[in-house]
Amino acid sequence: MSETLEKFKAFLEEKNQYDHVTTLLYWDMETVTPKAGQAGHVDALTYFSTKSFEMGTSKELGEMLDTLAKPEEFEALDDTMKFIVTRMKRDMDKDKRIPKERFEAFVRAQAEAGNAWRDAKNASDYSVFAPHLRNMIEMTAEMAGYTDPGKEVYDVLLDKYEESMDSATIDRLFEDLKKELIPLVKQILAAKQPDDTKFKGNFDINAQREVQQLLLDYIGFSRESGAVGETEHPFTLNFCSKDVRISNHYHETEPLSAMFSAIHEGGHAIFEQNVNPEYDNTVAGSCNYMGVHESQSRFYENILGRNKNFWLPIYDKLGELLPQFKEISLDEFYREINHVRNSLIRTEADEVTYCFHIILRYEIEKAIFRDHVAVEDLPELWNEKMKEYLGITPGNDAEGILQDMHWSDGSFGYFPSYLLGSIYDGMFLETLEKELGSVDKLLAAGKIGEITKWLNEKIHWYGSTRVPKEVIQNVCGEEVSAEPLIRYFKKKYTEIYNL
Amino acid sequence: MSETLEKFKAFLEEKNQYDHVTTLLYWDMETVTPKAGQAGHVDALTYFSTKSFEMGTSKELGEMLDTLAKPEEFEALDDTMKFIVTRMKRDMDKDKRIPKERFEAFVRAQAEAGNAWRDAKNASDYSVFAPHLRNMIEMTAEMAGYTDPGKEVYDVLLDKYEESMDSATIDRLFEDLKKELIPLVKQILAAKQPDDTKFKGNFDINAQREVQQLLLDYIGFSRESGAVGETEHPFTLNFCSKDVRISNHYHETEPLSAMFSAIHEGGHAIFEQNVNPEYDNTVAGSCNYMGVHESQSRFYENILGRNKNFWLPIYDKLGELLPQFKEISLDEFYREINHVRNSLIRTEADEVTYCFHIILRYEIEKAIFRDHVAVEDLPELWNEKMKEYLGITPGNDAEGILQDMHWSDGSFGYFPSYLLGSIYDGMFLETLEKELGSVDKLLAAGKIGEITKWLNEKIHWYGSTRVPKEVIQNVCGEEVSAEPLIRYFKKKYTEIYNL
């Protein structure tokens, strides 16, 4: 090993310590830290994020990367190290243009905006969040101006969360979907709806926690390399492939909510637990493409979790844990978990109308960064679009524009990833069935492990080393298209609703 | 403010960030981290502990402390800062003699020994733990040799956990106790024992969690500044007065276990939550004297928690949460929580025989560090002393020498603190009753808040700024003595057991 490579590896190991504790501080703030202790954690998070940022943009690192990028050194590296050097050099060239004090201010503002968002949502008072949102918009644009000067801000943001999927591609995919889904949803909503009476009532929270564990074990979440916490807004986070954590929120009157959140976050976690462990603690490990990531959480949540056969092997156990389910047949259950409604909350939406929740957010984000719509006008714009796509209007901002935390930490451009994930899922499903046969049959036979193994080998293993376009090309051998997803929706809901 | 003072304050703030994340890493390892993720946390813990150690022994800090200790600078400091400078200078003069790489090795060995202890206890296999224990004994002695060269190792250790209480004092107190308690316990064990049949059975774990919350709210634990986790061996830990955490362990067949652990850890937490917040994140904040600390946890657990009147205001609620308690009268409950037994496990012992569990450990620690008894001979020594003091022999090492985690992280000298705490409690109780009147009456009237307020004002507020001898002198106006505790035991158990 060259002297520079050795030094570089030691440097990465040290930088990883700072990233490790910022991850931990974040986890703890969202799952454990009491209210009065938040400020202490924000201080520490700011301090250590800044330390990591300083290391990641330091002259020392820059010189090592320059040396390792020289042909004679580069050619001697293994493939993983080649990826790491190339990727870090690219990121560093962008990030080093951010002034340290602005980065530090941004991290602190993110944490403060997160707290303000929580307070605003609890009080359903947009005015509490508005100044923080304005600040996050301005600072996010400012950061994009440093990293990618001269580029359109929203394009920079889209690329940040789903590299290789530009806004022209996203516009095309979303327009294709809209064209087909608007009439489909109209047809569905006009059809006979199932009776959901049996799903009303109070469902024991402790039993819901046990159901979550049942589901996680069933889909293949490793407890050896995983942990579970409780939070306001469910999320997944990982230190490396050996420590991946999900969090959930239990609602006494909404038993399906925590179940599908568990499957969703479990899908994210299974991805991270199965990345090549050689990539741990480097830019090759973990998956940094949010569309690809969401494709896996949503594959488990929707393609598998909303399939009747997914439940066959475990439905009796579900009834043992939550006795109300003994009174609900599997057919009734299946109908309810695919009950299409025009509803207000994204995370509670069925898989079809969910698409509109994302398209709405995508269009609002474009309105913010391209049309510069003022922050005080956003709730109205939100409500208008809810009316347009779903025919309903939020009763207050907590169930409208304040429902999601994403904008509070400046994650503008993240939302489209969810729908891209579903679009990829349509493609993955068709390929998987070509290679392994019917998913219905695999699930009914209790062979969900074979599906997970396929996803592990085709997608998870590669972590961040393949960008989304490459993932799709490698798995499906085709360009990205919304057609498979549209076919999936049409077939499934035509059957369910007798259209 | 002098330039040095300003620089010093900024330095403390930065050093605190490292201490903050080591505290968090420890909390997370004990309550959340999955098995496969432990190694990553150990790496980070070692890295950041070492960073903090380097700062705490750095030339830069040494120079600042020297400057601030000069009369002209020192006199201008406020009282808190005077304490901080004096204390840090004293500690630094000791710690700076520890070679950094030995400190680092010690931190790593502590974490590894902790994991080995857990495995050994689970398998009840002392041989798994023995090499780690030998290593911890050697390294602990090595550290004491650096910090206090020429002093007897065990005296250094005692002073580390309960400054100002030397081994001559502890020997005197423990001998006084032994003299009175050996015949008292003999009398008790010969008397009629209560029937504990109603306490057998399975008690719902989730309900036990709710009982814990009831108890914590009742004794005055602040949820705003506190959090609760689950672990193998209950403990309390704090970042500052605004973020204090306790952890607990629930046993389905032992409903009293988690209840009294909750009150015990709650007592520690109430202490930390009520230290003068001006001391936060400095050596003045938190209480570093383990005897004084245990005096507060044990005051809540025993003096209050094992008093019948403590339960009067909440006993009906207890029955609502754990229906089996509806069938148990308060008198029966009171008898059982003061049921004196010769039992194997320290943390499950009644308050009287508990004293022997500590005396046994104190004598074994003296045997290790003064008589150099070999590690392989310790289980036998343990079992002999159990036989001598309690007349029983552990069936295996998990319920013998492996039961406590303390020695796995080198906390030799900690155990006596528990009994010192009870000895102080006897004194605090007599003083409190002189000043506020009968504790029985206060508790029966639901005025536990007045007792907490008295403890807050007399003890908690001062954090680490008063050493144990000063605390006792200030609260009781007397030298430390075991007599009040002996009076308390004799009066209470003569009544209960009709002696």
pLDDT tens column, B64-84: 999 999 999 999 999 999 999
pLDDT at A233: 86
Q: Under 8 Å CB-to-CB from A235, ≥6 apart: which residues?
A: A30, A246, A247, A265
Cβ neighbour number for residue B171 with a 10 Å cutoff:
12
The DSSP-derived string for B297-327 is HHIIIIIITTSHHHHGGGHHHHHHHSGGGGG
B36/A242 Cβ within 8 A: yes
Q: Under 8 Å CB-to-CB from A482, ≥6 apart: which residues?
A: A173, A174, A176, A177, A423, A426
Chain A positions in Cβ-Cβ contact with residue B226 (cut-off 8 Å): 34
A20/B44 Cβ within 8 A: yes
Tell whether the model's pLDDT for residue B475 goes beyond 90: yes
Cα A357 from chain centroid (whole Å): 14
Nearest residue to A414 via CA among A249, A286, A269, A294: A294
Cβ neighbour number for residue B187 with a 10 Å cutoff:
14
The DSSP output letter for A301 is I
Chain A positions in Cβ-Cβ contact with residue B34 (cut-off 8 Å): 223-227, 242-243
Buried b (16+ CB within 10 A) or exposed e, A232-259: ebbbbbbbbbbbbbbbbebeeebbbbbb
B48/A17 Cβ within 8 A: yes
B39/A242 Cβ within 8 A: yes
pLDDT at A1: 73
Which residue among B21, B40, B243 sits closest to A33, beta carbon to beta carbon?
B243
How far apart are the CA of A421 and the nearest CA of chain B, in angstroms? 28
- A14, A60, A152, A265: the catalytic one is A265
Distances B329 to B35, B308, B333, B334 between C-alpha atoms, Å:
43, 11, 6, 9
Cβ neighbour number for residue A435 with a 10 Å cutoff:
10
Q: Which residue of A has its CA nearest to B20?
A: A44
B37/A242 Cβ within 8 A: yes
Chain A positions in Cβ-Cβ contact with residue B55 (cut-off 8 Å): none
d(CA A17, CA B40): 9
| Residue found by looking up tokens 């488990």 in the block | A300
d(CA B273, CA B238): 9
pLDDT at A153: 96
Q: Taking an 8 Å Cβ-Cβ cutoff, which residues of chain B contact chain A?
A: 14, 17, 20-21, 24-25, 27-28, 32-37, 39-41, 43-44, 47-48, 206, 222-227, 229, 239-240, 242-243, 245, 281
Nearest residue to B363 via CA among B406, B416, B407: B416
Q: Is B247 strand, coil or helix?
A: strand
How far apart are the CA of B229 and the nearest CA of chain A, in angstroms? 8
pLDDT at A232: 85
Rg (CA), chain A: 23
H or E element, residue A335 = helix A330-337
d(CA B44, CA B40): 6
Question: Chain B interface, mutation test: which of A12, A14, A17, A52, most B Cβ atoms within 10 Å?
Answer: A17
Contact status, residue A409 vs residue A136, Cβ threshold 8 Å: yes
B34/A225 Cβ within 8 A: yes
Cα B489 from chain centroid (whole Å): 21
B239/A17 Cβ within 8 A: no
Q: Which residue of B has its CA nearest to A43?
A: B17
pLDDT tens sequence across B278-331: 999 999 999 999 999 999 999 999 999 999 999 999 999 999 999 999 999 999
Residue B225 pLDDT level (bands cut at 50, 70, 90)? very high
Residue A279 pLDDT level (bands cut at 50, 70, 90)? very high
d(CA B138, CA B159): 18
A229/B37 Cβ within 8 A: no
Tell whether the model's pLDDT for residue A347 goes beyond 90: no
d(CA A69, CA A341): 54
Q: Which residue of B has its CA nearest to A35?
A: B224
Mean pLDDT of chain A: 96
Chain A positions in Cβ-Cβ contact with residue B44 (cut-off 8 Å): 17, 20-21, 24
Both tokens of residue A371? 């049309």
How far apart are the CA of B196 and the nearest CA of chain A, in angstroms? 29
Chain A positions in Cβ-Cβ contact with residue B21 (cut-off 8 Å): 21, 24-25, 44, 48
pLDDT tens sequence across A308-321: 999 999 999 999 99
Strand ranges in A209-284 using DSSP code E only, listed in sequence order: 226-230, 236-240, 243-248
Tell whether the model's pLDDT for residue B177 goes beyond 90: yes
pLDDT tens sequence across A216-268: 999 999 999 999 999 988 999 999 999 999 999 999 999 999 999 999 999 99
Q: What does the pLDDT average to over B420-428?
A: 98
Both tokens of residue B310? 């403590």
Task: State residue B350 phi and psi, 5-degree precision.
Answer: -65, 165
Strand partners, A116: none
Which residue among A223, A229, A240 sits closest to B40, beta carbon to beta carbon?
A240
pLDDT tens sequence across B391-405: 999 999 999 999 999
Which residue among B17, B47, B227 sits closest to A33, beta carbon to beta carbon?
B227
| Residue found by looking up tokens 């796995």 in the block | B408
Contact status, residue A215 vs residue A337, Cβ threshold 8 Å: no
Question: Chain A interface, mutation test: which of B11, B15, B17, most A Cβ atoms within 10 Å?
Answer: B17
Q: Which residue of B has its CA nearest to A225?
A: B36
A226/B34 Cβ within 8 A: yes
Chain A positions in Cβ-Cβ contact with residue B25 (cut-off 8 Å): 21, 24
Chain A positions in Cβ-Cβ contact with residue B217 (cut-off 8 Å): none
Which residue among A34, A206, A242 sits closest to B226, beta carbon to beta carbon?
A34
A17/B47 Cβ within 8 A: yes
B229/A37 Cβ within 8 A: no
Which residue among B36, B48, B224 sits closest to A21, beta carbon to beta carbon?
B48
Q: In what order do the strands lie in the sheet with A243-248?
A: A226-230, A243-248, A236-240
Nearest residue to B216 via CA among B269, B273, B292: B269
Identify the sign of the CA torsion B452, B454, B455, B456. Answer: positive
Cα A161 from chain centroid (whole Å): 10
| Residue found by looking up tokens 């500044």 in the block | B225
pTM value is 0.93
pLDDT above 90 covers a percentage of chain B that reads: 97
Chain B positions in Cβ-Cβ contact with residue A37 (cut-off 8 Å): 225, 227, 239-240, 242-243
Identify the sign of the CA torsion A312, A316, A321, A327. Answer: positive
Q: What does the pLDDT average to over A401-424?
A: 96
Cα A31 from chain centroid (whole Å): 18
Let me know if B380 is a catalytic residue: no
A17/B43 Cβ within 8 A: yes
The DSSP output letter for B237 is E
Torsion angle of alpha carbons A72, A77, A79, A85, nearest 10°? -80
Which residue among A37, A47, A225 sits closest to B36, beta carbon to beta carbon?
A225
Nearest residue to B458 via CA among B249, B335, B274: B274
Chain A positions in Cβ-Cβ contact with residue B33 (cut-off 8 Å): 227, 243
Chain B positions in Cβ-Cβ contact with residue A33 (cut-off 8 Å): 227, 243
How far apart are the CA of B21 and the nearest CA of chain A, in angstroms? 7
CA angle at residue B294 from B291 to B297, to 5 degrees?
160
Q: Which residue of B has its CA nearest to A228?
A: B32
pLDDT at A380: 97
pLDDT tens sequence across B10-31: 999 999 999 999 999 999 999 9
Q: What does the pLDDT average to over B224-253?
A: 96
Straight-line distance from the first to the last Cα atom of chain B, in angstroms, rounded to the nearest whole number: 65
pLDDT at A136: 98
B239/A37 Cβ within 8 A: yes
pLDDT at B233: 86
B44/A17 Cβ within 8 A: yes
Tell whether the model's pLDDT for residue A65 goes beyond 90: yes
Question: Chain A interface, mutation test: which of B230, B241, B242, B246, most A Cβ atoms within 10 Å?
Answer: B242
A36/B224 Cβ within 8 A: yes
Both tokens of residue B255? 């409903």
Distances B121 to A397, B114, B126, B404 between C-alpha atoms, Å:
53, 11, 8, 9
Task: State residue B344 phi and psi, 5-degree precision.
Answer: -90, -30
- B162, B265, B351, B365: the catalytic one is B265
Tell whether the model's pLDDT for residue B1 goes beyond 80: no
H or E element, residue B269 = helix B255-273
Note the ipTM here: 0.91
Contact status, residue B292 vs residue B461, Cβ threshold 8 Å: no
Q: Under 8 Å CB-to-CB from A330, ≥6 apart: which residues?
A: A308, A311, A312, A315
A39/B225 Cβ within 8 A: no
pLDDT at A48: 96
B225/A37 Cβ within 8 A: yes
How far apart are the CA of B376 and the nearest CA of chain A, in angstroms? 32
d(CA B471, CA B459): 7
Cα A385 from chain centroid (whole Å): 23
Chain A to chain B Cβ contacts (< 8 Å)? 103
